[in-house]
Structure 1
Amino acid sequence: IHLAEHPSNASAGYAAMAAMGLAFALTEHGPDRLGLCQAAPCRNAYLDTSTNRSRRYCSDRCATRANVAAYRARKRLEAEASARSGRSAETAQDSRALSER
């Protein structure tokens, strides 16, 4: 791989450096380590450098946003289920905690 020493303009230089970095990362980690962020509105690409290939999000921000959305969805379902059964969410949660012990 060869990079020209004098790019025609700054954007060409940055693009060449980014392409070089991507080429080196793909050579080191392999193309199967590329992924797309699984957060709902985000579709950024990332390079998974984790040891067990478990990365799913492009950043901590997207991971946090997805985890909070999943938590809120679970709580919403619990509230709907408790409303149908006529119990409050706290009572349902307390009885579930007692049954798990």
Structure 2
Amino acid sequence: MHFTLKKFLLAVITLIPTTLASTAQAAEYKGTCSFNSLTMPCSVSQNPFTLTMRWGDGVTETYAHQGNGEFTDKNGGIWTSSTHNNNGILLKHKNGNSISFTENR
């Protein structure tokens, strides 16, 4: 797995201390995103507090990191994260929806 992606996944899935500076820079990764099984090119950026997905059709979604691998969306939906195919991330909602990102190689 790409070294920077490993760092990305570790930061996303691990509880991030709140003592980090609020001006933290976001790293950006390009790849393919999917909503359920529909895929398109996208980019993903993260910092200690958020995960942002910029879809190829212009839609941008930001998820707030809640710790312990959980994220919330702007509507209050709770998404649980896990690694995805060892080179990406998968977010699952209790309603059955899933969002994934796989980094380009």
Task: State the TM-score, normalized to the length of structure 2.
Answer: 0.25
Larger Rg: 1
More strand by share: 2
* TM-score normalised by length of structure 1: 0.26
Structure ranking higher in helix proportion = 1
